[in-house]
Structures are given as C-alpha cells and as structure tokens.
Amino acid sequence: MIRWSALSAQSRETFWRSLQALNATRVVIALVLLAYLSFERRADAPGSFLYAQTCIGYVIVALGFAALTLYTRRRFLLQVTSQIALDMVVISLLYLAGGGARSGLVILYLFPLAGAAILTPLLLALFSASLVTLFLLGESVYQVITGDARSAPMQAGLYGAAFFAIVAVVNRLAARLIRQEELAVRRGADLKIQMAINQLIIADVGDGILVVGRDGEVFTGNPAAQYMLGLGEGAQHIRLGDRPALEPIAQAFEQWLAQEGAGAKGVQRAAFVTVKPYHDNAAWSGRRDLAAHLKLRFAKVDTPDGEAGRCVIFMQDVTAIENQAQELKLASMGRLTASIAHEVRNPLSAIGHATALLAEDLSAPTHARLLKIVSDNVGRVNRMVEDILQLSRKVQPNGDPLFLANFLAELKTEFQETHALASDIVALGNTGTAPVRFDALHLREVLVNLLTNAIRYASGMAGSIRIYAVTDAAGRMELHVQDDGPGITPEIRAHLFEPFYTTSSKGTGLGLYLARELCLNNEAMLDYEYRFDGGVFGQAKASGRFVITFAQPLAA
C-alpha cells in the first residue's frame, strides 16, 4: 500500500469510507452472532455464558468504533489497527467458546484479515495472519496434548496457509486499485489545470470563437466574439440567421456546411464578412455604432459518435489591419505621386502626340492597328496616373444635404446615354425621402464606378442592374447596387478593394479603391456583401451587392 502521507485527499477519503464500511460490517456480524446464540445454542451448553458476554460486548464496542470513525478523522492507522486487533481477540474467544475447530467459526477470521489486507501495509497484514495462524496451531496442539483425538493440527496449518495467501492477494489488489485511483486523481487535477489554462487563453485571445450547431444555434462564445458581434450576457442559444446583424456570418457558415457536406474536409479558406450593429435586442449591445470587417474560419468538432454536430467559428477583426494597410499604401503612393506626375505624364503626352502625328501619315491597316494599340495603352496608363494623383486630393466634401431620388434619376439618365444602354436595364427602387450626408460629385464618381463594373457582368436584360435604398437597424441609410451576374468569389473578395488589384485586362485596379476612399472621406462605408433576399437562415439564396452605408442622418 502507498504510504499514508503520500496519499491524496481523495484517496484518504476513500480509506475512511472503507473503514466506515468495515465498522458497519462488524456491527452486522456481531448481531448475527447474537442471533446464532439465540436460535442455535442452548443456554446450558458449555461456554454459552462466555459466548453471550463476548457477543454483547462486541456489539457495544463495534458501535463505539463506528461512531469514532464517523466523527473523528485522525490517526487512521492507529484506529484500523486497534479495531482489527479487537476483531481477532473477539473471534478467538468465540472460537474457544464454540469448541475450537468443530465450531466452524474459523471462517470469521477472514473478516479482520481482509480488512487488514485492504487498509494496512502488507507487513502489518501478514503479521495479523501470522498471529491467527499461530493461535490456531497452538489451540490445535493443546487439544492434542490434552487427549482430544478429533483435533487436527494439519487442518489448522492449512487454514493458516490459506489466510496468508488471501492476505497477500487482497493486499496486492487493493494496492493496485489505490494506485489507479491516485493516477486518476492526478490526471483529473492535470485536466482541471489544462481546462483552466484553456479557458484563460480563450478568454484572453484576441480572436473571436463561437461554438454553433449545424442549424446555426449559438451555444457559447468567448469575450472577443461577444465584443465583435455585440453579444451580451444571456444571448446564447440564439440562431445566427434570426439576427439581421449576423446574416453575413450565417450565410458564410451555410456555404461552408454545403462544401463540407459535399466532401470538403478541414477548415475552409478565409471568408470575409461585414457585421453591422443590431439594436432590436438588448442582449446584442456591445457594438451599437460600429461595423466590423471579420475574417472567418470554420472547423468541425470531431466527436466519437458524431451526433453532437458542433462546429467552431474562428473570427478575426481585420478592420484595423486593413485600415493600417491602406494607410501604408497611401503613404507609399503619396511619395510616388510627384515623381509620377513629372516622370510619367510628360513622356506619355509625347508618346500620345507622336502617335497622333503618325496616324495622319500612315494609312496602312497594319500600321493603323499598331497605332491604335499604342494609343489605347497610353490612355490606360494616363488614366492610372490620373487615379493615382486623385488619391492625394483629399478635398473637403460638400456638407449640403443630398436627396437621393432626384440625384439617382439624373445619374441613371446620364449613365444610360453615355453607355448607350436601354432605358430599362438600370432599375431604381425605393430611394427614401430623408437626405444623406455625401458630396454629390463624390457620390456620382462612386456610383459611376460601381455601375461600370455592373454592366460588365450583368445579363443586359430589363432590371438586370438595380439601385435601391434601405434603412439598417441603426437607422442609417444604405444604398445597394446589385446586378444579376455571377457573384464575386471569396478569393477575389479578399483583395477586392486593394489598389492595383484587377481581374480585367483593361482595368487599372484603382476604381473600387478610390470609391471606398471617397466614401471614407464622406464618413460613409463601402463594402461588398452577400445577403439573403428572404433574410431567413437556410431558406433563401444569397446574392452579392455593393452596399454604401451613409453616415448617421442629419439632425432635424
């Protein structure tokens, strides 16, 4: 057995409970022995008086030991040793009073010896077995000397050998069990420490972590996730698709589930969404006036039975990172602006002028085609230079209120005439009645850029391009520009507003970047979002659109 001082608190408690069980068993045995006296032995039989007195005293002492163990948790080894010694003395007296080996009471020695084997060290348990064996042999030899032919020393020796074997086996089994319990206690303590460390790391980590079910039900989230989403106390067990602010996350999660169900394994490539504040529920109140641009990653929780269906959503707020990256790019472009203005525009003008002169003198089709290629590329580089120069023109926007209805109607007519479009391709929806804060020239440039991109991918059918305004949960006006073309893939969305990133051979890669910069200059925000037209998780197809979120409405 392990040394008492080396045992854990849980193992010591196990030993005390075992000693209490031993005391309860002792009381039961004493009562059974009294019952045996009442029904099986005659009062005038030899040794009956000694038998009765011993049994009665045994019951009283057994009750005392039980009370002592129940209320006094000190000196365990002393208590168990004294109790086992008492058991052996009482059983020996009963053995003698019952007539020795003929009484059959020798089997009672198993009770204290088994208790000693379980609760005491092996040496002490073997010492107890040796005392019992010596007593049995001594009593048997004494009976032989006194002329009792029925006494059998060989039988006493066999009993002693059996007791030694039982004590050794039970002690080894008990020691193995206690070692297993000690190991389980240590593993449990290590597990609790690891869980505490994991909780500390999860609570302190900057990335948000959400545990959700396959139906979009939120089970838990760390503080970072609560802050990013405005998730307050008591907001667990809601569904992502039931909250307008969380629709982008619900859509991205549904798309990942579809891919995972089709055979994709592991964590999906990054998905980027914009989460806006939500006001209809007091539990979602952490970020009422801020919008977060989040990078999402998904993972499935592997369980043995596979029935839990839990998934983890890792969220990283990349708003500050993107702003810092844009500032660094702007600083680099600012340093290049002056050089580009002088070192590029002048040679471009010379090349363009020379191309025009050559076009007057050369009339061959091959020459005309080559000159057109030169002229087109000169124009493209010149537009790029103009766009770069415009980045440094942080003109203070006009603060006059702008009514979208008349503005969008004029812009639609002008754009259709400029691009020779049919009158029904661009459809105007609800444009609202409240004014917005946005410079008219800046908004015109932003919308022309978005509409130019839209006609490149739209089908050209009636209403294939839609412009309409809605009001979000925070009371801010949103202007949506949507076409019926294929949506933008997640790979392209990750770089959509980066300068010089383009998928068109004729583009400069600065249009959307300039549009977002103009929006930021007017305290607005431009982003590309996937939204469900029905707004219900899993019941409508998501479609992509550019969304301009204007600044807070002007005070009345």
Provide the token pair at 555: 């005070």
Is the Cα dihedral 335, 340, 341, 342 positive or negative?
positive
Q: Are residues 305 and 327 in the same domain?
A: no
Looking at the fold, whether 312 and 322 belong to one and the same domain comes out as no
Residue 422's pLDDT is what?
84
State the pLDDT at residue 389: 65
Of the listed ranges 2-6, 64-68, 72-76, 117-121, the least confidently predicted one is 2-6
Residues 122 and 32 in one domain: yes
**Would you say residue 256 lies in a domain?**
yes
The residue segments making up the domain with residue 249 are 207-317
Nearest-angstrom CA–CA distance, 428 and 4 = 85
pLDDT digits (tens, 9 = 90+) for 371-418: 788 887 787 677 667 766 665 555 556 667 888 888 888 888 888 888
Whether residue 10 lies inside any domain: the answer is yes
In a domain, 471, yes or no: yes
- Same domain? For 313 and 323 the reply is no
Q: Are 381 and 344 in contact (CB under 8 A)?
A: yes
Confidence of residue 111 (pLDDT cuts 50, 70, 90): confident
Cβ burial 431-461 (10 Å sphere, 16+ → b, else e)? bbeeebbbbeebbbbbbbbbbebbbeebeee
The residue out of 359, 376, 393 marking a domain boundary is 393
**Quick one: 308 and 452 in the same domain?**
no
> Residue 340: is its pLDDT beyond 60?
yes
Q: Is residue 197 part of a domain?
A: no
Residue type (1 letter), 3:
R
For residue 526, give the H/E element and its range: strand 525-532
3-state SS assignment for residue 5: helix
In this predicted model, what pLDDT tens digit does every residue of 314-325 receive, in sequence order? Answer: 888 887 776 677
CATH of the domain at 464: 3.30.565.10
Same domain for 168 and 30? yes
Can you give the CATH number for the domain in which 303 is found? 3.30.450.20
Sign of torsion over alpha carbons 72, 76, 78, 81? positive
**DSSP code per residue over 76-105:** HHHHHHHHHHHHHHHHHHHHHHTTGGGG-G
Q: Which of 140-154, 155-169, 526-540 has the highest mean pLDDT?
A: 155-169
CA diameter of the chain? 151
| pLDDT at 132 > cutoff 80 | yes
| Both structure tokens of 161 | 């050998």
Q: What is the pLDDT of residue 31?
A: 79
Tally the domains of the chain. 4
Domain for residue 202, yes or no? no
**339-347 average pLDDT score:** 70
Q: According to the model, what pLDDT value does residue 510 have?
A: 73
Res 242 pLDDT > 70: yes
Helix (H) / strand (E) containing 404? helix 404-418
| Boundary (domain end) residue, out of 317, 347, 368 | 317
Partners of 47 in beta bridges: none
In contact, 128 and 88? CB cutoff 8 Å = yes
How confident is the model over 484-511, as pLDDT tens digits? 887 777 667 767 777 766 766 666 667 7
Give me 83's structure tokens. Answer: 């109790």
Which range has highest mean pLDDT (31-35, 60-64, 131-135, 329-333)? 131-135
Query: Last residue of some domain: 297, 317, 337?
Result: 317
Q: What percent of the chain has pLDDT over 70?
A: 74
Mean predicted confidence (pLDDT) in 51-65 = 76
Do residues 406 and 418 share a domain? yes
d(CA 282, CA 232): 8
pTM over 0.75: no
- With a cut of 50, say whether residue 538 has pLDDT above it: no
525 lies in a domain? yes
Residue whose C-alpha is closest to residue 334's, from 388, 371, 282:
388
pLDDT of residue 286: 42
Residues 358 and 487 in one domain: no
Q: Is residue 104 part of a domain?
A: yes
Residue 530, C-beta contacts closer than 8 angstroms, at least 6 positions apart: 248, 251, 252, 273, 487, 542, 543, 544
User: Is pLDDT of 516 > 80?
Assistant: yes
Averaged pLDDT score across all residues of the chain: 75
Percent with pLDDT over 90 in the chain:
0
The answer to the question of residue 173 being in a domain is yes
Check whether residue 375 and residue 492 sit in a common domain. Answer: no
pLDDT reported for residue 288: 39
**Mean pLDDT, range 143-149, rounded to an integer:** 71
Give the separation between CA 146 and CA 133, rounded to whole angstroms: 20
Decide which of 389 and 351 is more confident: 351
**What pLDDT, on the 0 to 100 scale, is given for residue 280?**
43
Average pLDDT over residues 119-128: 84
Q: Could you read off the pLDDT of 288-304 as tens digits, one per residue? A: 345 677 888 888 887 66
What is the rounded distance in angstroms from the CA atom of residue 245 to the CA atom of residue 286?
A: 12
Read off the pLDDT of each residue in 97-117 and give the average, rounded to a whole number.
77
Q: Which segment of 33-47, 70-84, 172-186, 217-231 scores lowest on mean pLDDT?
A: 33-47
Phi, psi of 210 (to 5 degrees): -120, 135
447 and 547 Cβ atoms separated by less than 8 Å = no
171 and 52 assigned to the same domain: yes
Note whether 412 and 491 are same-domain residues: yes
Residue 262, pLDDT above cutoff 70: no
417-455 pLDDT, tens digit per residue, is 888 888 888 888 887 778 888 888 888 888 988 888 888
